[in-house]
A and B are shown apart, each in its own frame.
Chain A
């Protein structure tokens, strides 16, 4: 398994502001993924962060709201832009080993928007 570090672990933000979440992996991975977990809910994939190309977004998520960077094979950021209370969630970074489908997760960023 990979060691995945996310920062910050939690934050309380004012509505209308933006927060950038960082994800660092201890080994090179081809793809990194960002999930949202709303309170009491399951995990929903936001986008796949590709190194060297634009992120691929799932239905219902757009680049203007959730811009993603992937500058190298061990790091990615997710920005939650122009936040509203509805954005209060846990945001999770994930990687897999390529051939397998086993997703490994960071510890998550708990975001509260007030």
Chain B
């Protein structure tokens, strides 16, 4: 089946540092989504990307839709303790509202040391 390779699997950083994580695939995606999941909660959508090359920011978060449509990255600048959580990428193979085409990465677990 289709797979997303998300890396790194986990990160331990100092408060104030910048963070970068990415997802790659052998398949071409039409949409990339980035989610954050905190303990005991469902994933919360951070950024949605719809066009190859698109660069979108949400506060200290920046994500890009790779030009080949096979990858995406998420950057977090000046990390703070509340950034702790698991970050998931998700790519959609087709168009439209069917989540049957939505593939999730395995997640990047972020720990921030104050």
The chain A residues found within 8 Å of chain B, CB to CB, are 1, 4, 6, 9, 30-31, 33, 41-45, 48, 56, 58, 92, 94, 96-108, 110
Instruction: Give the residues in chain A near B42, CB-CB below 8 Å.
Output: 4, 6, 92, 94, 105-108
Residue in B35, B92, B97, B101 whose beta carbon sits within 8 Å of that of A97 in the complex:
B97
A interface, over-half SS: loop
For the complex, count residues of B whose C-beta is within 8 A of A.
25
Instruction: Give the residues in chain B near A9, CB-CB below 8 Å.
Output: 40
Q: Is B44 an interface residue (CB 8 A)?
A: yes
Contact call A98/B97, Cβ cutoff below 8 A: yes
Instruction: Give the residues in chain A near B45, CB-CB below 8 Å.
Output: 1, 102-104
Give the shortest distance, in Å, between B92 (CB) and chain A (any CB).
5
Taking A31-B98, A33-B99, A101-B96 as given, write out 4 further A-B residue pairs in contact, using a Cβ cutoff of 8 Å, ordered by the A residue number. Answer: A30-B97, A100-B48, A101-B95, A105-B42
A-B contact count (CB 8 A): 70
Contact call B106/A102, Cβ cutoff below 8 A: no
Residue in B33, B44, B96, B99 whose beta carbon sits within 8 Å of that of A45 in the complex:
B99
Contact call B99/A101, Cβ cutoff below 8 A: yes
Which has the most chain A C-beta neighbours within 10 Å: B44, B90, B99, B107?
A: B99
Contact call B41/A107, Cβ cutoff below 8 A: yes
Q: Is B13 an interface residue (CB 8 A)?
A: no
**Which 10 pairs of residues, A with B, have the shortest CB-CB distance?**
A105-B42, A42-B104, A43-B104, A98-B97, A108-B42, A101-B92, A42-B106, A101-B31, A33-B99, A107-B42
Contact call A45/B102, Cβ cutoff below 8 A: yes
B33 nearest in chain A by CB position: A102
Contact call A42/B99, Cβ cutoff below 8 A: no
Contact call B100/A42, Cβ cutoff below 8 A: no
